[in-house]
Amino acid sequence: MHDLILATHSVTMSDAEEPITTATAPFDNPDGDIILRSTTDRVDFHTFKFILSLMSPMFKEMFTLPQNGLQSGISSVPVIPVAESSATLESLLLHYYPAATPKAFSSFSHAVAVMEAAKKYDMQVVLSRAVDRVFTQFIPDRILELYALFCQFGWQDHAQMAATRALEIKDLGRPSHVFKGMRNITAFDYHRLLAYHQECGAAAQQVAKSLSSRNAYHTLQCAKCNKPEKSLFWTGRPSWFDEYLDKSGKELLIRPCESTLLESASYINAIIKAIEDTKCSGCKYKFVEGIDGFRALYIAQVKRAVAKVSFPC
């Protein structure tokens, strides 16, 4: 609040030095009763006290004080100078403004600027909407930066969501995984991320060990004969099955997510070896359906196991 009042006096001195432009619709409404002026690039946003009061308790309180700030120069409409750029201010307002559709963030830094502004002006609804949008727009490419940002803002639920998506990163914790925003979080925040990744990896690998110990290959079905796979293909435990679970389990340890099982080379090798070993010549090339069904079961169990891991507080 005091920062805004002080900014009013400083802008008054230079108001006539540089031209002022008006923002595009819907912020060019001449009926507006308040103007937000970006001091960064001197753009006026014609808006309404009522809308700003609903958006921000800070603005609501400000409007109860005497309006001794700038005038627009062409009318008696009060002007409130703000430090944010016009791009940040426009995005900030569009996330709440009636009948307006927010645009995609032009960059990650732009998204951060909008969220920082929303926090600064205590615009909780805007902040919530901006966070949801930034999460959708920048996953998975900026997942670690999002984690750092959420930790910096103190949003534990969103930090956990980001940490869960970070399970897709192989060998997380090696020096190559330095990311922008790491300087803005504590060592404990980074430790939590690595500990969570490691615990999820152990839980996912345990699924593979559990499936192996339960002789899960008995559930495979012959696509043509529709009889238990064991009685049709092998007289004993197939070596390719144990090999697949062992290798995929190790892969899950360092990358505990669904994508690991969907992209695993050990899965393709298992199919090839299974087809080579099958004694059911009538449906050997349809056997992939049975293996694929098993993998779906495998993925579902890994998801359940990882979901039970709590994010460190």
Q: What is the SS3 assignment for 238? A: coil
Tell me the pLDDT of the chain (313 aa) as tens digits: 444 543 443 344 444 567 899 999 999 999 999 999 999 999 999 999 999 999 999 999 888 876 555 555 555 788 999 999 999 999 999 999 988 888 899 999 999 999 999 999 999 999 889 988 998 899 888 999 999 999 988 888 889 999 999 999 988 877 777 788 888 899 999 999 999 999 999 999 999 998 877 655 555 555 455 554 443 344 456 788 889 999 999 999 999 999 999 998 898 888 888 777 766 665 666 667 777 888 899 999 999 999 999 998 8
Q: What are the structure tokens assigned to 168, written together?
A: 């897709």
In order of their start, the domains of the chain are 2-138 (3.30.710.10), 200-307 (no CATH)
pLDDT at 117: 94
Q: What is the SS3 assignment for 31? A: coil
pLDDT at 184: 87
Q: What are the structure tokens assigned to 144, written together?
A: 């670690």
Kindly provide the residue ranges of all beta strands, DSSP E only, lying in the chain, ordered along the sequence: 21-22, 34-38, 43-47, 70-71, 78-82
pLDDT at 236: 54
Bridge partners (DSSP) of residue 21 are 43
pLDDT at 215: 56
Cβ-based neighbours of 78, under 8 Å, separated by 6 or more: 33, 34, 35, 67, 69, 70, 71, 72
To the question of pTM greater than 0.85 for the whole model, the response is no
Residue 308: count other Cβ atoms within 10 Å of its Cβ: 9
For the sheet with 78-82, list strands across it: 21-22, 43-47, 34-38, 78-82, 70-71
Cβ-based neighbours of 124, under 8 Å, separated by 6 or more: 118
pLDDT at 41: 92
pLDDT at 132: 87
pLDDT at 286: 63
Q: What are the structure tokens assigned to 249, written together?
A: 């389990």
pLDDT at 193: 94
Q: Where are the alpha helices (DSSP H) in the chain?
A: 2-14, 49-55, 57-62, 86-94, 108-120, 124-138, 143-153, 156-165, 187-213, 229-233, 239-254, 258-263, 265-277, 287-307
Residue with tokens 């700003």: 52
